[in-house]
Amino acid sequence: GENVEQHPSTLSVQEGDSAVIKCTYSDSASNYFPWYKQELGKGPQLIIDIRSNVGEKKDQRIAVTLNKTAKHFSLHITETQPEDSAVYFCASRKNAGNMLTFGGGTRLMVKP
């Protein structure tokens, strides 16, 4: 089955700096890659996703890039703010009927 690895497991940045989280997946048939942000004591919130027919997608300060050949995708957060501090999970899915496979999560800490 699909395996998703996520790095780093923890990331500490200074407010205003950029943060990058990387994920690799094993199943070349995967074609949907969402990112979720989970704050303490809350459920994950979908923040951005990308499908295999595009290489990059941007939404204000966050962007996701996808390299299908290398089977990896990354989340980029620019101009980080303390409220960006949370655990971020990447995931992949093979087709619409399948379940998501999650990475292990990255705890992002943005220091003011």
Partner 1 sequence: GAVVSQHPSRVICKSGTSVKIECRSLDFQATTMFWYRQFPKQSLMLMATSNEGSKATYEQGVEKDKFLINHASLTLSTLTVTSAHPEDSSFYICSARRDGPNEQFFGPGTRLTVL
102 touching partner 1, by CB under 8 A: yes
Which of the residues 7 through 66 are near partner 1 (CB under 8 A)? 32, 34, 36, 41-46, 49
CB of 73 to partner 1, least distance (A): 16
94 touching partner 1, by CB under 8 A: no
DSSP per residue, 34-84: EEEEE-TTS--EEEEEEETT-SEEEETTEEEEEETTTTEEEEEE-S--GGG
Residue 49: both structure tokens together: 């996703």
Which residue is associated with the tokens 């409220």?
83
Interface contacts to partner 1, rule CB under 8 A: 32, 34, 36, 41-46, 49, 89, 96, 99-100, 102-105
